[in-house]
Amino acid sequence: GVSRALSDPWRPMRVRGDGSVSAMHSSPSQEKAAEAPIRAAAELSLAKNIVYSALGGVAGATAVYPLDMAKTQLQMDAAGKYSGLFDCFGKVAKAEGMGALYRGLPANIIGIMPEKTIKLAGNDFFRQQFKVDDKTVYPEGNVLREGASGGLAGACQIIVTTPMEITKIRMQMYEPAPGETVNQMKVLSNMVNEMGIRGMYQGTVSTFMRDVPFSIVYFSLYGIFRRKLADDNGKISPLGALGASTCAGIVGASGSTPLDVIKTRLQAKTAPGVAPYKGWLPTVSRIVAEEGAAALFKGVGPRTIIISPLFGIALMVKETLSNWFP
């Protein structure tokens, strides 16, 4: 009774009528599910992992890009020009046309492929090194090591994320001259030439400060949700992957919004007459002093709406391709 039950403290207990305790026995299907290894993308070949990660990233980023555009506009709106997400959509579309909501997409796609490859494939690599998916080592997973895997992947990606983010943000904030037909690749080329290599890495620290905490939270939660939704063979359905990653994204994205606002202010080109933001802590102090602490959560709605389906679609595509073409 009690001694046997206590030998495995995680096994469900049954209390008998006489007050004694015994362990409840799992059904064969439950035991099979508990013993089945979670099929990690780390089992894929390196080439497939890179390709599937890149395709997932492009699919997710393209689907949510107008929301990303609006988020940047809201986060840079120190003057209170926009009252919210839909007001921002309406004013940008009215002033510049619907195509303006996709301004900066080419730069984003160029950067998102290596960025998501490093993040997703890197996470798989570190999970493999930490034996997170080895059931003989961690039968129920290990949240701390999953978080560490995600955090390290997030740290590695900033070599690509920083230049991608600064060019994307500046393209999103670009104001064309009256009657100008925007050639996005030409504008992007001019921006890159103007900034130079050093300028492309402006805001590296703020990018690190945003991406590492987000990745720790996101991949920890995704691992938990994925284990709950995986089948007996450790595979997860497309809808399961979408649901698990979306839920993890909601928590990670909303909680890291202040870090994203700080990064955006440091990387965006300020309006004429407005002093540029310099330094991580001075930027925090300036935002709070000039606009109040609530300004650190500007764009929290669009960011949460962006990140959740972006990672959801990216991981759904990757998991689906992994199941179809293992």
What's the rounded Cα separation, in Å, for the pair 70 and 304? Answer: 12
pLDDT at 21: 44
33 — pLDDT class (breaks 50, 70, 90): very low
**Could you tell me what percent of the chain has a pLDDT over 70?**
87
Which comes out higher in pLDDT, residue 126 or 192?
A: 126
Q: Classify the C-alpha dihedral 316-263-255-291 as positive or negative.
A: negative
CB-based contacts of 73, cutoff 8 Å, min separation 6:
82, 88, 92, 172, 173
Buried b (16+ CB within 10 A) or exposed e, 223-245: bbbbbeebeeebbbeeebbbbbb
pLDDT at 252 over 90: yes
pLDDT at 20 over 70: no
CB-based contacts of 94, cutoff 8 Å, min separation 6:
none
pLDDT at 52 over 80: yes
314 — pLDDT class (breaks 50, 70, 90): confident
Average pLDDT for 266-292: 92
Average pLDDT for 158-167: 91
pLDDT at 162 over 90: yes
3-state SS assignment for residue 125: helix
Which comes out higher in pLDDT, residue 102 or 21?
A: 102
217 — pLDDT class (breaks 50, 70, 90): very high
Which comes out higher in pLDDT, residue 64 or 35?
A: 64
Chain centre to alpha carbon of residue 202: 21
43 — pLDDT class (breaks 50, 70, 90): low
Average pLDDT for 67-75: 89
Where is average pLDDT lowest: 40-44, 120-124, 132-136, 252-256? 40-44
Residue 135 CA: distances (Å) to CA of 30, 39, 110, 186 = 15, 11, 37, 52
Note whether 43 and 142 are within 8 A (CB).
no
Which comes out higher in pLDDT, residue 295 or 98?
A: 295
Average pLDDT for 195-206: 91
Half-sphere exposure of 174 (CA within 13 A, CB side): 26
**Could you tell me what percent of the chain has a pLDDT over 90?**
29
174 — pLDDT class (breaks 50, 70, 90): confident
Tokens describing residue 58: 């492009």
Query: Whole-model pTM above 0.85?
Result: no
The 3-state secondary structure of 40-80 reads CHHHCCHHHHHHHHHHHHHHHHHHHHHHHHHHHHHHCCCCC
3-state SS assignment for residue 14: strand
Where is average pLDDT lowest: 53-62, 212-221, 305-314? 305-314
What's the rounded Cα separation, in Å, for the pair 135 and 119? Answer: 24
Output the average pLDDT for the chain.
83
pLDDT at 10 over 70: no
35 — pLDDT class (breaks 50, 70, 90): very low
282-297 confidence digits (pLDDT tens): 999 999 999 999 999 9
